[in-house]
């Protein structure tokens, strides 16, 4: 997002506590190292600077971890967001783009999920994000805050020409784990369940390229200029791809056979999670450009392949992860 904004003439300031981020990734704009749980640090970040809009990306976001460490998730994702909103109000910054998640929906009751789908999160991560969404609705009524909430489905891909890719110490996303397995030739991936009611028996997910996500955020800026209140949009490319399809496509892109083993289903894994982005298309004018699986995976493959530290001795793919 910072790369897109800088490329289009915006002045960018990044605030990050670097707990999971990387200092050398902040190549577009200034960096303020601070934590949303430190109100004094937030006050210093806003003081003496003029901001038009805040884009709030940071969160704890590992579903499994949220179950065993719920207090940390509510502190970071709920209290941290509230601290940010209070600082914005004190400094009269009246527009916010908020990163939310498909996890707010819980177990889906329909194959294609629109914004009106019931919200019943089944883990603290999803619950914490839904609470933050409620903050924005209340702030719109009470303080006139303008906001756009964007619910990502499966963010994927990379911008290798800009050196941007998924660099997580603990990787939970399917595509990078498949590509790590292709590079590592180590323990095989596990597919959790191959008896779902899908075309090939494996779970189906909606993968949306990070560049399309950045464009949606950019469109949200213009939308808030002409729309008051709190608005929410689902972001996916509208097409589902199975775990088998991801592995087969990654093998074709990389030219490497990717071994895997089939394990029993995991509790809580729905057969299919696909977004309806009709509202974003209609009201934001958002039209995802990365709609095929192979180019999405190819962009990630080029980035992963070119990382000098990612050798067979350094890559440890979390083979337990099927999809995020």
What is the reported pLDDT for 83?
Answer: 97
Q: Are 88 and 45 in contact (CB under 8 A)?
A: no
Domains, the chain:
167-207+237-324 (3.90.25.10)
Please name every residue paired with 13 in a beta bridge, in sequence order, or none if there are none.
Answer: 30
- Give the count of alpha carbons within 13 A of 283, CB side only: 19
What is the reported pLDDT for 267?
Answer: 66
What is the reported pLDDT for 309?
Answer: 55
DSSP 1-48: -HHHHHHTT---EEEE--SSS-GGG--SSEEEE--TT-HHHHHHHHTT
What is the reported pLDDT for 41?
Answer: 96
What is the reported pLDDT for 312?
Answer: 37
Task: Supply φ then ψ for residue 175, to 5 degrees.
Answer: -60, -50
Selected catalytic residue, list 125, 152, 196, 207: 125
Using a cut of 0.95, tell me whether the model's pTM lies above it: no
Cα–Cα distance between 275 and 237 in angstroms, integer?
A: 7
DSSP state at residue 105: G
What is the reported pLDDT for 322?
Answer: 34
Ranges of the chain whose pLDDT falls below 50: 185-186, 310-324
Distances 94 to 149, 230, 264 between C-alpha atoms, Å:
14, 12, 48
Cα–Cα distance between 123 and 146 in angstroms, integer?
A: 28
DSSP 3-state of 54: strand
Task: Supply φ then ψ for residue 174, to 5 degrees.
Answer: -65, -50
DSSP 197-259: SSSSSS-EEEEEEHHHHHHHHHHHHHHHHH--SEEEEEE--S-EEEHHHHHHHHHHHHT----
- Give the count of alpha carbons within 13 A of 47, CB side only: 6
Would residue 125 show up in a list of annotated catalytic residues for this protein?
yes
Q: Are 154 and 207 in contact (CB under 8 A)?
A: yes
Could you tell me how far CA 50 lies from the centroid of its own chain? Answer: 27
Distances 186 to 9, 259, 306 between C-alpha atoms, Å:
44, 9, 19
What is the reported pLDDT for 55?
Answer: 98
Cα–Cα distance between 194 and 202 in angstroms, integer?
A: 5
């Amino acid at each position: 997002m910072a790369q897109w904004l800088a490329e289009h003439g915006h002045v960018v300031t990044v605030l990050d506590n670097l707990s999971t981020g990387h200092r050398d990734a902040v190549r577009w704009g200034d960096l303020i190292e601070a934590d949303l749980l430190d109100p004094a640090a937030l006050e210093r970040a806003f003081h003496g600077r003029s901001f038009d809009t805040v884009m709030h990306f940071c969160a704890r976001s590992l579903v499994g971890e949220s179950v065993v460490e719920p207090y940390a998730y509510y502190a970071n994702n709920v209290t941290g967001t509230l601290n940010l909103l209070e600082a914005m109000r004190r400094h009269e910054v009246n527009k916010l783009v908020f990163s939310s998640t498909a996890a707010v929906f819980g177990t889906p009751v329909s194959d294609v999920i629109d914004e009106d789908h019931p919200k019943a999160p089944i883990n603290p991560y999803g619950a914490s994000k839904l609470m933050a969404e409620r903050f924005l609705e209340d702030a719109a009524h009470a303080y006139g805050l303008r906001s756009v909430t964007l619910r990502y489905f499966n963010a994927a891909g990379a911008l290798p020409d800009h050196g941007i890719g998924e660099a997580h110490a603990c990787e939970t996303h399917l595509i990078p784990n498949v590509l790590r397995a292709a590079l590592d030739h180590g323990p095989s991936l596990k597919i959790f369940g191959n008896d779902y009611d899908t075309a090939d028996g494996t779970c189906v997910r909606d993968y949306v390229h990070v560049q399309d996500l950045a464009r949606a955020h950019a469109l949200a800026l213009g939308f808030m200029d002409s729309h008051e209140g709190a608005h929410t949009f689902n972001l996916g490319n509208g097409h589902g791809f199975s775990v088998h399809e991801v592995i087969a496509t990654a093998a074709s892109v990389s030219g490497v056979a990717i071994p895997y083993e089939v394990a029993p289903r995991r509790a809580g894994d729905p057969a299919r999670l696909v977004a309806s982005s009709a509202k974003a298309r209609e009201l934001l004018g958002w039209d995802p450009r990365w709609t095929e699986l192979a180019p999405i995976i190819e962009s990630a493959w080029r980035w992963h392949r070119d990382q000098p530290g990612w050798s067979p001795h350094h890559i440890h793919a979390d083979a337990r992860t099927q999809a995020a």
